[in-house]
Structure 1
Amino acid sequence: MESQLIQKVTVDKAQYHPGERVKIEIFLKKGILNDITNDDLKVEINDLDQKFYNTEIRLIGLKQDLAASIVLFWQIPKEIHFEGFGLDVKYYKNEQLVDSYSTGFDVVEKWFQAPRYGFLSEFKPDKKEKDIYQRLEIMKDFHLNIIQFYDWMYRHHQLLSLQEEYKDIFNRPLSSRIVKKQVDGCKKNGMLPIAYGAMYGAEREFVVEHPDWIAATRDGVTKNSLCNDNPEYIQIMNIADNCPWREHIVDQYQQVIEKLGFEGIHIDQYGFPKTYYSLVNNKRELKDMAAEFGRFIEYTRKELGEEAALIFNAVNNWPVEVVASKPQDVVYIEVWSPNDTFYHLRQLILEAKKLANYKKQIILAAYISSLNKKKKISQEAGERAARLTAATIFANGSFHLVLGEGANILTDAYYPEFRQLTAEFRAIMQNYYDLITRYSKYLFSQNLRDKSAFLTGGINDEIKVSVNGEKMNFSPNGEKDSIWTIVKENKKFKTLNLVNLMGIDTIKWDKPQYTDPKIQQYIEIEWLIDEEVKAVYWITADKGDIKPRKIDFICDKHERGEIIKFTIPELNYWGLVIVKVY
C-alpha cells in the first residue's frame, strides 16, 4: 500500500448521544491532485460485520479543493443508546486498495456509560487561543469525553477569585477567562468539563477565621494538614453535617457551576485522616471520616441536583465499600502502593464493580511515575510501562485517567508535572483509545460478567492456550512470563482479552519496562462453548489497524460437549477476541 494517502479521519465530538449528527472529516495527503482520475474513497460505519452506513466518493467528481478536508455527515438513529461504531475509510486507485484508515466513535445516553476521563491543568493568563483549541482538538480525537480541570481555583476554600487574573497558593498565575474559554471549548468538542474541588481543604487565612471548623487531631496541637512547608498550608476541615464547612464548600461548588459553566465536580480527598475530632459548639467528638464521606456525597448530590456530574476520589481504594453505592456517577480510584501489580489493578476493578452492583463504570487514576522527568528513566521504558498499564485497565473493563492537556500523560498526583507524548507513543495511544471507543460495548457493557477465575488456568479446562500443540503458560492472575487470559460473557457474546506478559521486566505497573513483551505468534485457542457460535473476531491496536479480523474456527468434540478451535496470528501487547453466539 502507498503510505498516508489518507492523513487522518476525524469526527467532530469526543462522544455522541442518540439522534445527533456525526460530522466526519477525511484529510488527504497534500499534493494528491497529480493523478486522481481513477481514485475512489469508500467510507463505512459498522459494528463488526454489521454495516450502518457506506458510501463511495469519486475524487475526480468532487467540486472542492482536495487540500481541504472531505466532509460527510451521518445521523445517529434515536434508538441507539450504548454502542461503539467503527469508521473505516479505504482509498482505491484503479480499483486497487492502496491505503486505509480506521477509527471509531461511540453513542451513549449519558456520559458515565463510557467515561474516558482526561485532564486540563494549565490556565495561565497568556495561554494562546490557538494553543487552547489545538490541545482540545487532540483530546477530542482521543475521545476523552469528560475533562477534569485540575487546580484551576484561587484557593481550596474559595474557588473563585475576585479578580480575573490571580495566583494560587503555589504562586502559579491563573485566569478565570482562560478557564471559561476552555470550559466552552470542551463543550464544543463534546467533552464534559468538571471542576476539581477538594471537599475538605482550606488555607490558613480561612482557618484563622474558623478554628472550630477544622478536623482536629487527638492532641489538639498537631495538625491534619498538608503542604506544611507552605505558609498557606492546607488544613483538613470537618465535613460533618453539624459543621458549617460542609454547606460552605458545596455552595462554592454551586457557584463555579453557575458562573463558569462547569457541568459537575471532581470531589477530592487526601487519603487521611481516617478519623478526626469535631470541635463544633466547643464539643470534642470523634468522627469516622469514611462514614462522613458517604454523607457528604449524598448532601452534595441533593444540593447540586441529579444532572450534575459527580466523581469522588477513593484514594487508594479508601473507602470504596462506603462510597461505591453512594450517588456519584462512577467509582473512581486513585491507585497507590501497596496496590503495586497489574493483578492488583484487576482486583480493584472487580471489587468496585461488585460493590456498585455492576451499575457504575470504574475509573482508575494510575499515574505513570516512571515517565516523570525527575526520575531520569528512559522515556521508552516509561512508555512500555504506560502501555501495559493501559492494556491491563482496559482489558479488565475499566477506564484510565492518564491523558490530557493535549497529547500529554500524567506522571504524578500533581497534574502540572505531566509529560508530552513522543510522536511514536502518541500514535500508539491514539490506536488504543480508538479501539476502546469503537469496541466500547465489548469491553465495558455493564451486563458483562468476568468468568476468568473459573474458566481459564489452574484446574479449569474450558479454555486452553497453546503453540504448536504445546501448552503455553497462561493464567487469569497477571503472572510474569505468562499470557494473561481475561474472560467475560453476556448472553450475546463472549470475550477473551489477552495481555502479553512474556519476557517483561516486572509485574509492577508503576515500574519501568526496559524490554517489550516477547511477541507470541500462532496462538492456538480451544474454548468449550455450549451456545451456537456465529463468528469469531480478533482485534488489536498494536499493529496500527483496529479493524476486526474475522478468524476461521472449527468445531470439535469434547468429553463435555463441543469446543471451538482457532488461531491468533500474533500478540504483541494486548488483543481482544470476540465470540458472537446465538
Structure 2
Amino acid sequence: MKSKCMKSTAAAFITAAVLMTTIVSALPTKVSASSTGTILYDVTTDKSMYSPGAKVQLRIDIKNRTGRDIAGGRVEIKAKHLGQQVGQAITKAYDLKNSADLMMVADWTAPGTDFKGYLLEVYIHDAAGALLDSDTVGVDISSSWLKFPRYGYVWDYTENVDTAGRIDKLKNYHINAIQYYDWKYRHHKPVADHPDVWDDWSGRKIYGSSVRGYIANAKAANMASMSYNMTYAATNGYDKDGVNSQWGLYYADDNPNGTGQFNFKMADSTPTGITHLYFFNMRNKAWQDYIFAQQNKVFANFDFDGWHGDTVGEWGRMKTWDGQTLYVKDTYTEFLNAAKAAIGSKYLVFNPVGAQGIEHVNKSNVDAIYAEIWPWDRDSEGQLYDTYASLRKEIEQSRRESGGKSLIVPAYMSYDYGEQNPGRPFNTAAVLLTDAAVYAAGGSRLELGDNGNMLSNEYFPAQNLYMTEDLQKRVSKLYDFIVAYENLLRDGQTETANRIEIPGYASSAAGDPNKIWAYGKKDGKYEIIQMINLLGVSRNDWRANDGQKETPAKITDYEVKYYYTNDVNSVWVASPDARDGRSQKLAITAKGSDAGGNFVKFRVPSLEYWNMIYMSGEVTPDETEGGSTGGGGTTANLLSNGGFESGTLTPWTEWHPDGQPASYGIDGSDVKEGAKKLYFWNANAYQQSVHQVKTGLAGGTYTVKAWVKATAYGGAPSAARLEVNGAYTSLTADGTWKQYSSTVNVTNGSVDVGFYVNSPGATSVQIDEVTLTKNP
C-alpha cells in the first residue's frame, strides 16, 4: 500500500478504485522485437538468472511462415559478453514443413564467473546457409539478485489464478524479485487465523493456495518472493489484536496535517468496515517486538524470501504517547537494523516514500534499496524530484551512500492521465525515456507485474493504462539489454566530467529539453558515454502526467568527439533500440589533442532513445553477424571497415578503367546493417571493383561472407561477382538482399576480397557486412 501523495492534506488514500479497478489485458507473452514474422517468433530462457556454471535452457520458438518446407536447416547460437564471443558457437539442425511450428530447446553452460551479463544471439539458417532470421536474449549469471535487482510485482490471489503463467511472463522479462502486494490479512496481523482463505482489509478474497503457488513457481525460476507489509501501521480494531495505542504516533501541536493519532484514510467504506490506517512509533521497543513477531509468523506459514516494508512517507513533526517529538524519517536506521536482526537470513527491503529520509535507509542494513518517487518531493538540497536528471541524481547519491547498491525506483507514469482515461495505452516515448534515465544512471525500476502489465498507480490492482504491442517489444528488448550490459550499467561505475561534443546537435550533461543528454562514466577498464535523445522533446519531466510526450527525433550517422582520461583504441556502441541490443564496433576517425585535452572522434550509426558507448585502450576485433558457415568457429571479423560504417572506403581500394568515372559511393540508404553501405552505380556503361587484401594470416581455411543487393534496371551485367583469391561467386541481380559466401584455403598468409561489376549501364549493386573469419 502506497501513499498517493505527500501533500499537506491527507486526501483519501484509495477511493472506490479499491473495490472496482479497471483491468486491462496484456498481450500473452514477451514479444520478439526482431522477428520477421516468417521463422523466428521468440527466444526465452527457463529462469530469470543463473548461478555460475549452471545449465541455461534456451527456448527457441520457430514458426515456419516462409511459404516453403525447410530441410537440413541450422540454428546457430553465440554467447557474447560486451560484444566479444565467449566459448564456441552451438549449432542444432532442424527440418520444418511450411506453416509448422517448433519449440527448440538448446542448452548453454554458463561460465564460472559470478555476476556477469551475456547476450545470446540466435541465427536461423536454411539448408543453403542463408540467414533467414535472428534474435537475441539476455542472460544474467548471478548467485544473488541483490547486485542487479530487477523488481516486479503480483497482486491477484483469486482462486485458481494461473500463477505459473504469470510468473513465466515475469521470468521472460528477467524479473528476479517480486513484491507480493496486499496479499496479507491486515497490516498489523498479516497472517489470518485460518491462512487458507481470508479477506484483505478492503474485502478482497485472498486464497492461500494462490500465494503459495506464486512462491513455488518463483523459486523454480530463481526469483525471490518478498512479503509486502507496512512497517508501522495497523488498521481499525488493532486493539483487539494486542496492539497498544500507547505505542502510537500522534500529530505534534504544530503539525498542520491533523490532530490525534497519526492516521490515513484509505476508503470511505469497505465490506470489512476497515477505512483507516493508524501509525506507530518505529522507535518503540514494544511495537518493534510486536511487528517483528508478526513478520516471523509470515515466514513460518509461507515460504517468502524476505520482507518488503512500506511507509506512507514523511508527514511532519510527530509526538509519542509521552510527549517526545520526532520525524518519522529519523527513526528509519534504528528500526531497519533491528528488523534485519529479527528476521535473520531473510531479505529486507524498505520504501521511504518520496525518498524522504532515504539517507537513513541507505546506511542501514537493508539488503536492497528502494524509493517510491513523487515529483513534488525534494532531495536533501531542496531540489524537486520532477526531472529525468533528478532521478539520475538520487540514484547516484544512493549508490554512494549505500556502498554500491542499485536503487529500485517505482515512479508511476502518466498517473493522472491513467486515472482520468482508464483503458488507454501508455505513451511509448514517456515510458522509454524514464526507463533510460533510470537504467543509464545505474538504477532499476519497479514497473512490470503479473500478466505482463505495467504500473501507472501506487495501488497495484488499478491497471489503468496498458502497453501497446510496440511498447511491449521495446520493453522486452530493454530488459534483455540491461541484463546483457549490467556490468557496464551498475557494477562499480562512477561519474566523470569528461567533455562530450556532438557537432551539429545541441547537447547537455544536465538532461535539458530539446538536446541530446550525454554524460560520462567509467570503471577500471571502460570509459562510458550514456546518451539519451531529448531532441524534439519539449519537457524533461519524467512523469508525463498528462499522458503526452513527444517521440525524440531520431538521428543517423552523427559524429562524437570525446575527451578521454585513458587512451582509447576501441569504441563500441550498444542500444536497446537497434540491432537487438548487439554491440557494434565503431571506427575511430581521428585522435589528437587540443586545448581541451586528448580526444577521439568516431561516428555513430543512429540514436533513437538511448545509446551506450563504451571505450577501452584494448584493440578488440570486429564480430560478424549471422553466424559462421562451419558451426563453432571463431567469429572475429579479420577485415577492417567491413560494414563501411566509417563513411570512407579505407582500407579498401577501388579500380575503374582509365577515362571512365568512378562508379561507387558510400551512403546510408537501404542498408543491411548499421548506418552505411557501399554501392556501385552508373546510368551509363561502367566497370567498377573494390578490394581489400588481408595479410599475416595463419594457414588454414577461411570464409568470406557478404550481403549484396543487385538490381539490373538496364540490361543484365556481363559480370557481377564476389572475388576471393581469384575464385568468383556470381551475384544474382534480382533486387533482393542475399548473403554470399566463399571458402578459401590460405597457404601464403593472405586473402584478397573484392567485388567486380561490368555493366551496360543502370546496374545497382549494394554491398554491406563483408566478413572474413577463420574456420576451426
Equivalence for 1:227: 265
1:397 equivalenced with 2:432 (yes/no): no
Any conservation in 1 of the 2:500–2:519 contact (CA below 8 Å)?
no
1:375 equivalenced with 2:420 (yes/no): yes
Equivalence for 2:176: 145
- Taking the aligned partners of 1:530 and 1:237, their CA distance within structure 2 comes to 52
Unaligned runs of 5+ in 1: 456-461
Any conservation in 1 of the 2:399–2:406 contact (CA below 8 Å)?
yes
The 3 A distance-change label for structure 1 pair 513 and 198 is same
Equivalence for 2:642: none
- Deviation, 1:172, is 1.3
- Deviation, 1:381, is 5.7
- Taking the aligned partners of 1:113 and 1:7, their CA distance within structure 2 comes to 31
1:556 equivalenced with 2:594 (yes/no): no
- Taking the aligned partners of 1:411 and 1:381, their CA distance within structure 2 comes to 9
Equivalence for 1:160: 191
1:481 equivalenced with 2:514 (yes/no): yes
Any conservation in 2 of the 1:207–1:235 contact (CA below 8 Å)?
no
Any conservation in 1 of the 2:314–2:353 contact (CA below 8 Å)?
no
Q: 1:253 aligns with which of 295, 302, 323?
A: 295
Q: Give the aligned length.
A: 557
Equivalence for 2:355: 317
- Deviation, 1:20, is 1.9
Q: 1:301 aligns with which of 331, 340, 365?
A: 340
For the residue of structure 1 that corresponds to 2:456, the secondary structure is: coil
Matches within 5 A, 1:21-170: 21-30=55-64, 34-47=68-81, 48-60=83-95, 67-78=101-112, 80-93=113-126, 94-127=128-161, 131-163=162-194, 164-170=196-202
- Deviation, 1:215, is 1.1
1:95-134 alpha-carbon deviations (Å, 9 max, x no partner): 121210111111123211100010111112242xxx3222
Any conservation in 2 of the 1:381–1:513 contact (CA below 8 Å)?
no
Give the TM-score normalised by the residue count of structure 1: 0.91
Any conservation in 2 of the 1:381–1:515 contact (CA below 8 Å)?
no
1:362 equivalenced with 2:407 (yes/no): yes
- Deviation, 1:262, is 0.4
For the residue of structure 1 that corresponds to 2:217, the secondary structure is: helix
More displaced stretch, 436-445 vs 17-26: 17-26
Higher helix share: 1
More displaced stretch, 406-415 vs 163-172: 163-172
The 3 A distance-change label for structure 1 pair 172 and 544 is farther
Matches within 5 A, 1:256-335: 256-279=298-321, 283-305=322-344, 307-335=345-373
- Deviation, 1:54, is 1.2
Equivalence for 1:459: none
Any conservation in 1 of the 2:425–2:466 contact (CA below 8 Å)?
no
- Deviation, 1:51, is 2.0
Give the TM-score normalised by the residue count of structure 2: 0.69
Q: AA paired with 2:600?
A: I
The 3 A distance-change label for structure 1 pair 371 and 52 is farther
The 3 A distance-change label for structure 1 pair 319 and 327 is same
The 3 A distance-change label for structure 1 pair 272 and 491 is closer
Q: AA paired with 2:87?
A: F
Q: AA paired with 1:204?
A: N
Any conservation in 1 of the 2:355–2:372 contact (CA below 8 Å)?
yes
Q: 2:213 aligns with which of 172, 176, 181?
A: 181
- Taking the aligned partners of 1:293 and 1:557, their CA distance within structure 2 comes to 52
- Deviation, 1:38, is 4.0
Q: 1:577 aligns with which of 601, 613, 618?
A: 613
- Taking the aligned partners of 2:401 and 2:613, their CA distance within structure 1 comes to 27
The 3 A distance-change label for structure 1 pair 34 and 520 is closer
For the residue of structure 2 that corresponds to 1:417, the secondary structure is: coil
For the residue of structure 2 that corresponds to 1:487, the secondary structure is: strand
Matches within 5 A, 1:427-438: 427-438=473-484
More displaced stretch, 370-379 vs 89-98: 370-379
- Taking the aligned partners of 1:205 and 1:559, their CA distance within structure 2 comes to 73
Any conservation in 2 of the 1:395–1:486 contact (CA below 8 Å)?
no
Larger radius of gyration: 2
More displaced stretch, 222-231 vs 519-528: 222-231
The 3 A distance-change label for structure 1 pair 383 and 530 is closer
Root-mean-square deviation over aligned CA pairs: 2.3
For the residue of structure 2 that corresponds to 1:316, the secondary structure is: helix
The 3 A distance-change label for structure 1 pair 11 and 53 is farther
Q: 1:194 aligns with which of 226, 235, 240?
A: 226
- Taking the aligned partners of 1:46 and 1:382, their CA distance within structure 2 comes to 32
More displaced stretch, 83-92 vs 377-386: 377-386
- Taking the aligned partners of 1:116 and 1:287, their CA distance within structure 2 comes to 34
More displaced stretch, 98-107 vs 32-41: 32-41
The 3 A distance-change label for structure 1 pair 218 and 514 is closer
The 3 A distance-change label for structure 1 pair 390 and 530 is closer
- Taking the aligned partners of 2:538 and 2:421, their CA distance within structure 1 comes to 18
For the residue of structure 1 that corresponds to 2:87, the secondary structure is: strand
